A and B are shown apart, each in its own frame.
Chain A
């Protein structure tokens, strides 16, 4: 029996673990090692250079720009997205006026909103980025012509072509595409909060705003926190890569005004032929990601409320 058990464990774990080790773990380990070399990626020869790549990082203006933008993504995107999503979710689930004997209820058409808001979540971020690239087109895009149509013909921003505006345009697209996910996520969380809490609070004369801050927010805290980390990781990684790479000129925007760390890693490795330097930027990105997660978990730590 014991013998059979271990053979079974090994047999079942071998394939997944091997695949995971070869394609995920090993490359991560390698890339940390490569960040101390002068490997170009083009030839198999390289030598150790110690901390040279890291020293170069400190003097690299493009790196600092990308770091700045990535940090901005990680700070602004979760705040805006989760803020909006909490507001919408509260309206959908609790915001409606009393009717038919229920202490709390959502606004009318709440199930329609939940379905519609979730649309962008099922689309590829690449499709969303392409769509908005057209919408932002200054000459004939949907946004500027809509502005013209409502009599704002003078307000015709260049959107993605304007270095000061491009980054915000890109962020708006990420907000657009992720709010729905969090609305649905928070709605599920709110549905599990017992109705009597709201009943009791409303009986005592609490307003809707008070019930939100005193009941909904504290009881939803765990969900918000993990959502926050999830959104931050997306904003630092794959999602920001797709939108910046597809939407902005260059890519990376006019005068590196939209470049983010993950894009800079990609460009250094596969455009500039500086694979070792790319892994160095990647290590910096790893540090930023882990620090972000640690800070959110630390700041968000509260006594867990059981209900």
Chain B
């Protein structure tokens, strides 16, 4: 609404210091003042509507997590009669959310560190050294981005069973790393190519080994790239659902997304819906909070790959 009131005024006022834009604005405006305004109201309305549709379900979930079971079913949209914090403590303790959190933190910490280390090592070699098979290995890695993972998971389940890695935290970490490598290698290879070669050459001439050059010169220079791809992998691994569903079915080892789904399924007979909502919000809030704080970096990290 505001734009429609302010914008005609804004253009009608002559802008003395920028003559060019004044001209550019005036011409189309005169021709279609009426229908431009309708279009503007409509489009802005759509933007507001979508923002509402995105934010509303999230607020609804937060609100519902403070209600008791009765109120959830009888009046889904009413405010809670009082703040039922016991939902949260029930979800954290009885419903094992604390365990799921711990498992997720362990798995993601291990696999994120592993992904960044192994991914940057492979990417550096592929970006900076000529050797037979370089292109082949590169395409082997990035080919993994377009294959349906589920196809590989069927045999992988039995492979992991045979080598005693099924349903273990460290097994899951290895799988997360392996399936994060394609994008990580793709992204970091492009990134290492953009870095100047002269610094590494100088380090080599000064007598540093290749390994030392990599860890002490190249990795610090690649920090922006590592942060971007790190955020991308962090979110992907924290939110991962398909890999643990197939490869990690042991109750004690379940990660957040799995635990919540299981909680939802078991509500069929337990009927603790308020606890489930508390669990959902509990899982949602840290990520949303982190996103709001690191908004710029997150967006850069998630969109960087697709823009290349």
Contacts and interface: CB of A to CB of B under 8 A. Distances in A.
Interface of A is mostly: helix
A285 B150 contact: yes
A283 B61 CA distance: 39
A168 to B, nearest CB: 16
Nearest to B8: A97
A142 B77 contact: yes
A285 B154 CA distance: 13
A230 interface: yes
A282 interface: yes
B148 interface: yes
Given A131-B61, A133-B264, A203-B24, A285 B179 contact: no
Contacts of A265: 150-151, 154
Interface residues of B, number: 114
B273 to A, nearest CB: 8
B57 to A, nearest CB: 6
B284 A127 contact: yes
Interface string A77-91: 000000010011001
Contacts of A146: 77
Interface stretch (B85-93, B192-200, B221-229, B291-299): B291-299
B170 interface: no
A98 B25 contact: yes
Contacts of A125: 239, 241, 257
Given A13-B137, A98-B25, A28 B152 contact: yes
A28 B25 contact: no
Interface string A180-201: 1100110011000000000100
Contacts of A145: 75-77
Interface residues of A, number: 112
A91 B151 CA distance: 40
Contact of A130 (B20, B32, B152, B280): B280
Contacts of B240: 124
Interface in A81-109: 84, 87-88, 91-92, 95-103, 107-108
B278 to A, nearest CB: 13
B148 A206 contact: no
A123 B287 contact: yes
A22 interface: yes
B122 to A, nearest CB: 4
Interface of A: 4-6, 8-9, 11-13, 15-17, 19-20, 22-28, 30-31, 34, 41, 84, 87-88, 91-92, 95-103, 107-108, 112-127, 130-135, 139-142, 145-146, 149, 176, 179-181, 184-185, 188-189, 199, 202-203, 205-208, 223, 226-227, 229-230, 233, 236-238, 241-242, 245-246, 262, 265-266, 269-270, 275, 278-279, 282-283, 285-286, 289-290, 293
